[in-house]
Amino acid sequence: MGGSMDYQMLIAGQLVGSDRMIDVLNPATEEVFARVPHASAAQLDAAVAAAAKAQKLWAETSMSERRSRIEALAAAIGEEAAELARLITLEQGKPLPEAAGEVEWSIGYLSHTATLTLPDRVIQDDEAFFIETRHKPLGVVGGIVAWNFPLLLCCWKIGPALMAGNAIVLKPAPTTPVAALALARICQRVLPAGLVNILTDNNDLGPHMSTHPGISKIGFTGSSETGKKIMASAAQSMKRVTLEMGGNDPAIVLPDVDVKEVAQKVFGGAFLNAGQVCLAVKRAYVHEDIYEPFCAELAALAEQAVVGDGLMQGTTIGPVQNRAQFEKVKGYLEDARACGRIIAGGEVTTERGYFIPPTIVRDVTDGQKIVDEEQFGPILPVIAFADVEDVIARANASDYGLGGSVHTKDLDKGMEIAGRIESGTIWVNQQLNIGPHIPMAGFKGSGLGVEQSVEGLAEYTQMQVINLARA
C-alpha cells in the first residue's frame, strides 16, 4: 500500500530519498504500511541552506503574492483531500471522518492565515519625530510537530512562517511522517523551490535543528519534556521559540447544569482523537450533588462508543497512535484501577492494534497519578467537589495551564470562575472551540508564545523600531 518510492522528502525543491529507511506502522494493525526516508544531518544542512537562499527572495515579495501562494497550497490540499484523509487514518489511527475533518481544518487554517496582515504602526508623528514599528521576517524557521494531528500541525507552522516572509524546514513525528510527505509533493508543485523543506527522521535530528546556526526560530508542538530540551538548546544561539506543549485541562461542572447535555460535551472534549489532544478534558470536577448521575451518563456514553480501525465504517474511537504511548496509557489504567473505580472500559482485549476502550474512572482525587499527570489517551478521571473556591484551587494546582472549561447555567458565574483559572484558554459551556482567528497560548508548563491569529503570526517576526528625527 505504498512503498518507499511514494514517500520522499522535499529539499531545495527536489523530492529526495535516503540510504536509510524508517518503517511506518498502522496503529490499528501494527503492520508496516509505508517506508519513508531517514534524513541525515547533511540533508538537514542542505535543507537549511536551501531555505536560507529561498527566504532572501521570498522576503522581497508582497503580502498579496504570499497570500496567493498560500491560497494555492490550501486549494491543492483540497484537491487531494480524500487521499490525505486516508493516509492520516492509516498512520495516526483516528476515524476517517475525523481525518477528513483534519484535512478541512488544515485548508481553513491556511486560508485564514493568508488573510492576516501585520501593518506598520506609527507610535509618534509630530514636528520632532516620526517613530514606527515594523515586523521583519526572522529567516529560516524550524518546525517540529507531534503525531496527533500529522497534517494540521504542519499547516499550523507553514502558514504563518511563509506569510511572515520566512522559509521553513519541517520535521514531522517519526511515527506519522506520511501525510507530511504527501504534503511535500504538493508544496513542490505550488511553492518556490526551497521555501518549504520537509524531512523525516527517527527522533534524532531535533537537537541538530534546535542548535543549528542557520535556523532562527523553532516552532514546536509536542510533549513538555521535549519542549524543555528544545528551549535549553535553543538558548545557545538565542533562537526564538514558540512551544505548544501538554496540558492537564480541568472541566468544572456546577450543579445547575443539564446532566445529559453537559456529559456529552465533556465526553466529546475528553475522547476526541482517542484523547490524544493537548486541549482535551483530562480531569472532570463534578459537583457532589450531580456526581452520581453524571458518572453514570459518562459511563453510558463510553459503552456506546465504537472502538476499532479508523477505516471501518461506524468507528468512533480509533487506536492510540504508537506503542510507547499505548504502554504509557496502560500504566495509567493500572493506576486508575488501583486508586479508583472504573465504571466503563478499562480492559485491553484486542491482540493486535493499540486499542484502549474509552475508560471512565470515578472516586479518584488530586494527588493520584491519574489526576495529576497528563494521560494523553482515552481515560477520564471524574472527581467530586463540594466547594467552588476549593475546586478553583485544585484546578490551578498543576504544572500545566493550556485549556479548561466551566459548565453552568449562570453565565456571569461561569465567566467569573473562568477568569480565575490559570490556563491559556477557558471555555464556558463548550469544549474545544478553537479556530485560526483565535489566539492559542499556554500558561506555566504548557508552553511559550502564541499560535494562531494575528498574534501567532507576529511570533514569526522580529519587531523593528524606525525612529526618525525631523529637526
Residue 1 is predicted with a pLDDT of: 38
281 by DSSP, 3-state: which? strand
Taking residues 71-99, report their average pLDDT.
98
* Nearest-5° Cα angle at 448, 38 to 217: 50
pLDDT(3) > 90: no
Task: Map 98-165 to HEC letters.
Answer: HHHHHHHHHHHHHHHHCCCCCCCEEEEECCCEEEEEEEEECCEEEEECCCCCCCHHHHHHHHHHHHCC
Report how far apart the first and last C-alpha atoms of the chain are (Å, whole number): 71
pLDDT digits (tens, 9 = 90+) for 22-67: 999 999 999 999 999 999 999 999 999 999 999 999 999 999 999 9
Q: Report the residue count for the chain.
A: 471
In angstroms, how far apart are the furthest CA atoms of the chain?
Answer: 80
* Nearest-5° Cα angle at 243, 232 to 418: 130
User: Quick count: other Cβ atoms within 10 Å of Cβ 5?
Assistant: 9
Number of Cα atoms under 13 Å in the Cβ half of residue 105: 20
Residue 350 is predicted with a pLDDT of: 84
User: Quick count: other Cβ atoms within 10 Å of Cβ 324?
Assistant: 11
Element (H, E) at 440: strand 440-441
pLDDT(329) > 70: yes
83 by DSSP, 3-state: which? helix
- Decide if 187 is catalytic: no
State what percent of residues in the chain have pLDDT above 90. 98
Rounded to an integer, what distance in angstroms lies between the CA atom of residue 55 and that of residue 197? 12
Beta bridge partners of 406: 252, 428
**What is the torsional sign of CA 456, 248, 324, 208?**
positive
Q: Which one, of 448, 408, 407, lies nearest residue 424 by Cα?
A: 448
Rounded to an integer, what distance in angstroms lies between the CA atom of residue 245 and that of residue 247? 7
pLDDT digits (tens, 9 = 90+) for 102-116: 999 999 999 999 999
Taking residues 425-451, report their average pLDDT.
97
pLDDT digits (tens, 9 = 90+) for 220-275: 999 999 999 999 999 999 999 999 999 999 999 999 999 999 999 999 999 999 99
pLDDT digits (tens, 9 = 90+) for 128-145: 999 999 999 999 999 999
Q: Are 166 and 460 in contact (CB under 8 A)?
A: yes
The CA-based dihedral angle spanning residues 237, 238, 241, 243, taken in that order and rounded to the nearest 10 degrees: 80
Catalytic residue, from 91, 98, 102, 244: name it. Answer: 244
Residue 195 is predicted with a pLDDT of: 98
Q: Are 371 and 395 in contact (CB under 8 A)?
A: no
**Confidence band, pLDDT 50/70/90 cuts, at residue 345:** very high
Residue 50 is predicted with a pLDDT of: 98
Residue 259 is predicted with a pLDDT of: 98
Q: Which one, of 194, 237, 183, 154, lies nearest residue 59 by Cα?
A: 194
pTM over 0.85? The answer is yes
Mean pLDDT rounded to a whole number for the chain = 97
| Domains of the chain, first to last | 9-245+445-467 (3.40.605.10), 249-435 (3.40.309.10)
Catalytic residue, from 155, 187, 278, 295: name it. Answer: 278
Name the one residue in this structure whose C-alpha cell is 481515560.
Answer: 379
**Confidence band, pLDDT 50/70/90 cuts, at residue 6:** confident
* C-beta pairs of 322-330 under 8 Å, 24+ apart in sequence: 322/25, 322/27, 322/147, 322/175, 322/354, 323/25, 323/354, 325/276, 325/354, 325/376, 325/377, 326/27, 326/354, 326/356, 328/376, 328/377, 329/356, 329/375, 329/376, 329/377, 329/378, 329/379, 330/356
- Decide if 244 is catalytic: yes
pLDDT digits (tens, 9 = 90+) for 148-183: 999 999 999 999 999 999 999 999 999 999 999 999
Taking residues 207-230, report their average pLDDT.
96
pLDDT digits (tens, 9 = 90+) for 382-415: 999 999 999 999 999 999 999 999 999 999 999 9
